[in-house]
Structure 1
Amino acid sequence: MDITQWCAHNTPHSHLMANTSKESWKRHKQEQEQPLIPGLPDHIAQLCLSPIQPCVLFSISHSWRRLIYSPSFPPFLSLYAILSPHNSHSHIHFHTFDPISNTWQPLPPHPPLRHHLLLRHPSFLSRSLTVQSVSAAGRLVLLAGTTHNLSPALPRPLVFHPLSKSWSFGPTLSSPRRWCALGSLGPTVYVASGIGAHFSIDVARSLQKWDLRHQSPVWENKTDLKDGRFSREAIDAVGWRDQICMVNVKGDAAKEGAVYDVAQDLWKEMPQGMLSGWRGPVAALDEQVLYVVDEAKAVLRRYVPEEDAWEDILHHHTLKGAQQIVAKRAKLCVVSASGISLLDLAASPPRIIPIPLPQGFHPVAVHVLPRMPAC
């Protein structure tokens, strides 16, 4: 019985509504006044409860449930998704999935954007016009998209901070772009190459970074790429072991790879084995272990740097047509033709758990960030 059926089944008769309302209010007031742990001050009780898994606290009592969503409780991780209605080519919505309550909710409204971000163009319906986003420093950063006239849609990043439930704008890009390489390493966002309103070799070769911790944020120029061949598609720049790794096209097509060494501010050739196995979306688990989903063969693989080779981990039909993966704490989240799936790598064999989407939406991108507080 789902919640809708439960409510319909338990709706009280009209002559009992007033009494029921009074009783509900009385119970609610008693629950709010009840200590978290009888005999202990709440601040001491919270220290005792903080190490316990939130899913356990959620199921025990209403007071503990309120605690895990309070600003003072260590935030658990949630899924944040950019979604698009099935019948729209130019509207995106931001939602978060709470894994504890197993529910979706929309994010607060963001500031008005100058342009709609187009996902399909009437002249190129078979081609996806990617909206590019990344997570860094506990924030969701929307950086690049395309307008109806095929120009860059965002002159500066749109940023959501989950813990304050607030939106803001980042620093203006020296050259707003689309079809760029976008990634993060620690608290820093990196954007490389891309196309502005018109093709420019300077933009196509550029690399800039933005550290989200800075009080006066600016984009800092770094060493240019050797050519402009990374401006052909919207691609991921994957942060791995103090390096940024990327290839210039998606899928099984012949491609070039590049690796940026952050400490040396230097571009290097990508190892041949890494490049040859890069046959779909790639993510780095805690920035240490690379995983790829072969989108054609529906196979998950892990990179073994000592052998410069990829080893098979799992084959599953839900991985077919994978478009994006994110990795956090022994789990991968995959966006594919099947929707959104969670892969638990700690299980043996790895488990795949489908995540039901809000009705009428399909996923554009997903990120893992701290949950929003309830108030």
Structure 2
Amino acid sequence: MNNDTSSKRSESQYYDDDDDDKSSSVLIPGLPDHLAQQCLSAVPPSLLYGVCRSWRRFIYSPSFPPFYCLYALLSPSSSMAASLSSSSSIGKPEGPPSSIEFLCLDPVSSKWSQLPSPPPEPPLRILHRHPSFISRTLTVQSLAVSGRLLLVAGTTHNFLPALGRPLCFDPSTGEWFSGPPFTAPRRWCATGSVHGQVYVASGVGSGYQGDVARALEKWDVEQKPADWKWEKLSSLNNGRFCREAVEGVGYKGKLCMVNIKGNAVKEGAVYDVTADQWEKMPRGMLAGWNGPAAGDGDDEIYMVDESIGSLSRYKAEDDSWEEVIQSSEYLKGAERIAVERGKVCTVSGRGRWVTVVDVAAQPARIWVVNPPPEMEFIAVHILPRMKSVEN
């Protein structure tokens, strides 16, 4: 477990600067660049990174297919948050500024990069730890949809919804933008995506409202921005899904979710996006859903049992969960999970590390990613690399 991808690689382990022709931009001697680019584009960037500077420059150029990176929402560690709380602006009417930071880990260079700052207006005031309650964490809900990072819900210092509309980041442009205004800003909701459409269900606003607690709304991210809106859909049967923030997982054209995390007795619901109707969750799916879950595309659901540290995938054919990893100390206490292209990333250890599982490998391979110093993970997502990253 000492494959720590957050450590910085030394360039000298790959090549000697004296042997590298700095004046040459030729990718492969004897081949035109357009043919050389086609050849190199089929090679994993991790293999190209250390060969020569021209290949290293190429993998970060627009001509190379974007590889996937780990995007993280982080906050100051608990010890750092305690030291900062004494100087916070909790006494001010607007409360303290946001304690959330956005970073991206390049898996090729193993370097963290800061995302551009969100727009200053309206000011972002999302807290992960309240200055008056350092020991408790506040949930921040985010999604990866259609190659973009979406911030959907959070909490302010006075325990109100922090967002009036989604805050979104597009790695292909390196820019932030806002989604359509929520019909009712909320927190402690269920949120997920199916086929590039964002769904928000239940939740509470400034207080409990029955119609909000049962509501389901949809935003089609693929539409033109001028047409963006939240469309009301069939309501939930009850308001029991606003007890805490939960994940809605897209699976085979349906949105699946449970109302309580962990091994407690829970209620499950499945929304059919085509028929616009709610269904009962299959018995086996509900019985085995004992921790954070996420989908890999529309065809797989992976779930970490947070109490025993096992990783399982759902099998619809016999309504059961198949173990991928029987138990791992690094998966115990998992809080959030992201899955993409056969990689499962879980926030574990109270945010002190992210456990990465390569489920495509036989047997599955595990390694750990550490956060930058004095930081802890809130959530992670897997998205194409940022346009603004320069190496």
TM exceeding 0.5: yes
Higher RCO (CA < 8 A, seq sep 6+): 2
Structure 2 residue 196 is the aligned partner of structure 1 residue 187: yes
Is the 1:247–1:257 Cα contact (8 Å) retained in structure 2?
yes
* Greater mean deviation of Cα atoms: 344-353 or 258-267: 344-353
Equivalent position amino acid for 2:379 in 1:
A
Unaligned residue ranges in structure 1 (runs of 5+): 8-19
In 1, Cα distance between the equivalents of 2:324 and 2:11? 42
Equivalent position amino acid for 1:324 in 2:
R
Structure 2 residue 151 is the aligned partner of structure 1 residue 139: no
Residues 101-160 of structure 1: CA deviation (Å, up to 9, x unaligned): 111111111112434212233555554210100000100000100011111000011110
Q: 1:178 aligns with which of 187, 197, 202?
A: 187
Q: 1:198 aligns with which of 199, 207, 223?
A: 207
Q: 1:354 aligns with which of 368, 381, 385?
A: 368
Is the 2:8–2:109 Cα contact (8 Å) retained in structure 1?
no
Determine the structure 1 residue equivalent to 2:379: 365
In 1, Cα distance between the equivalents of 2:174 and 2:313? 35
| Matched residue count | 356
Is the 1:114–1:153 Cα contact (8 Å) retained in structure 2?
no
Unaligned residue ranges in structure 2 (runs of 5+): 1-6, 86-97
| Residue pairs, 1:91-106, within 5 angstroms | 91-106=99-114
SS in 2 for 1:66: helix
| Residue pairs, 1:201-240, within 5 angstroms | 201-215=210-224, 216=226, 217-240=228-251
Q: 2:332 aligns with which of 306, 313, 320?
A: 320
Q: CA RMSD in A?
A: 2.2
In 1, Cα distance between the equivalents of 2:42 and 2:116? 29
Determine the structure 1 residue equivalent to 2:346: 334
Shift of 1:233: 0.6
| Residue pairs, 1:241-320, within 5 angstroms | 241-314=252-325, 315-320=327-332
Determine the structure 1 residue equivalent to 2:42: 51
Determine the structure 2 residue equivalent to 1:65: 56
In 2, Cα distance between the equivalents of 1:123 and 1:296? 29
Equivalent position amino acid for 1:102 in 2:
S
Is the 1:285–1:328 Cα contact (8 Å) retained in structure 2?
yes
So what's the TM-score if we normalise by structure 1?
A: 0.89
In 2, Cα distance between the equivalents of 1:167 and 1:339? 27
Residues 309-334 of structure 1: CA deviation (Å, up to 9, x unaligned): 22322111111100011111121111
In 2, Cα distance between the equivalents of 1:343 and 1:137? 23
Equivalent position amino acid for 1:323 in 2:
E
Shift of 1:349: 2.2
So what's the TM-score if we normalise by structure 2?
A: 0.86
Determine the structure 2 residue equivalent to 1:12: none
Call closer, same or farther: CA 1:85–1:127 in 2, change over 3 Å: closer
Structure 2 residue 169 is the aligned partner of structure 1 residue 160: yes
Determine the structure 2 residue equivalent to 1:11: none
- Overall identity of the aligned pairs, in %: 49
SS in 2 for 1:318: coil
Is the 2:11–2:50 Cα contact (8 Å) retained in structure 1?
no
| Residue pairs, 1:21-60, within 5 angstroms | 28=22, 30-31=23-24, 34-60=25-51
SS in 1 for 2:240: coil
Shift of 1:6: 9.2
Residues 207-260 of structure 1: CA deviation (Å, up to 9, x unaligned): 111121111211111111111111111110001111100011111111100000
In 1, Cα distance between the equivalents of 2:147 and 2:9? 34
Determine the structure 1 residue equivalent to 2:157: 148
Equivalent position amino acid for 2:206 in 1:
A
Greater Cα radius of gyration, structure 1 or 2: 1
